[in-house]
Amino acid sequence: MTEPLAPGAYTFATDEVAGERLDLAVARLTGHSRTQAATLIATGKVTVDGSGERASLRLEPGGTIAVTIPTPPGREVLPEQIPLRVVFEDDELVVVDKPAGMVVHPAPGNWSGTLVNALMGRGQGLAEGAAPERAGLVHRLDKETSGLLLVAKTDRALRVLSGALAAREITRRYAALCWGHLDGDRVTVDKPLARDPNDRTRVAVREGGRAARTDFVRLARFASCDLLRAHLHTGRTHQIRVHLASIGHPVVGDDTYGGGGGRRLVGLPPKRHFLHAAWLVFKHPVSGAQIDLRSPLPAELRHSLTTAAELPELFAHPDPLDYLGFYRANG
């Protein structure tokens, strides 16, 4: 069953649902039931080319459907006492080292236990410029991706950091283990991404999607996989995972995009893919000072890397990524 889209505003091209009734199309595109889709239409939350329409409308190609999914009533985001590893904090911002398995913000199916709930539970203020369920978030990480996440505590910080992110002035580099071997030590994937029309929980390379570019540098070549440093130039949902899968080298352990098989070969536990946000560099939104933060691999990824490399000495090193040259600016 497709997971429903979170509350928010969405637009879709009618080309992929041409000929369908509007209510059925909205249900399929958003992952909601037909009854829920009909309610959205009846309450004016759905327009086609800017106008409200009937649920029975047969869609023509070349148009645009706009859908606003409201926040469910009574779904207040509540503070929770959940331990967090904070690697940097001041009056303007906080950087958290997120563990794998933690959802970043509340959404249908995950209204508690998220990073935002945990941040609120610390009793600190978060930027109010965002919706309550995404309070202060400058960017996001997938549930099973671990590593550094930047959160604004003031509206000023959120505005400046969001602008820096859009201008590609924040450096985010990820450690990824992919199946097989890249064609060269440096590979750039520049392919547009959009929601998969057949499964709204997935993202696919699609013509007309949002521009997305990832640079990959191979740090080590093992028997069955490569260790990569991935540099995001854009921040699309599942970007690294989809880009690697699109060139035939999915992230090890990624059940969604074809990398889940063979995880035992590299000692990776279930429901975990090998993707870690290890390096974050940005300018402080007020002082302008450069902040350079690093997150060593979590224990389960260190074990997996050592198994894949067949080099026990890697595990003894304080930071295997440093040993393999991950933090070399031009490496």
Query: Which residues are known catalytic residues?
Result: 142
**CA distances, 14 to each of 35, 73, 183, 196, 201 (Å):** 20, 29, 38, 14, 19
> What is the maximum alpha-carbon separation in the chain?
66
Strands (E), 239-328: 275-283, 290-294
Our CA angle for 301, 304, 310, nearest 5°, is: 140
CA–CA gap between residue 40 and residue 35 (Å, rounded): 9
Q: Are the CB atoms for 165 and 265 separated by under 8 Å?
A: no
For 264, the enclosing helix (H) or strand (E) is none
What DSSP string describes 35-61?
HHHHHHHHTT-EEETTEE--TTPBP-T
Q: Are the CB atoms for 79 and 133 separated by under 8 Å?
A: no
Reading the block at residue 209, the tokens are: 């999607």
Q: Are the CB atoms for 31 and 229 separated by under 8 Å?
A: no
Q: How far apart are the first and last CA of the chain?
A: 43
Length of the chain: 331
Q: Are the CB atoms for 138 and 152 separated by under 8 Å?
A: yes
Is 323 exposed, middle or buried (CB count within 10 Å of its CB: 0-12, 13-18, 19+)? middle
How many whole angstroms from its chain centre is CA 19? 33
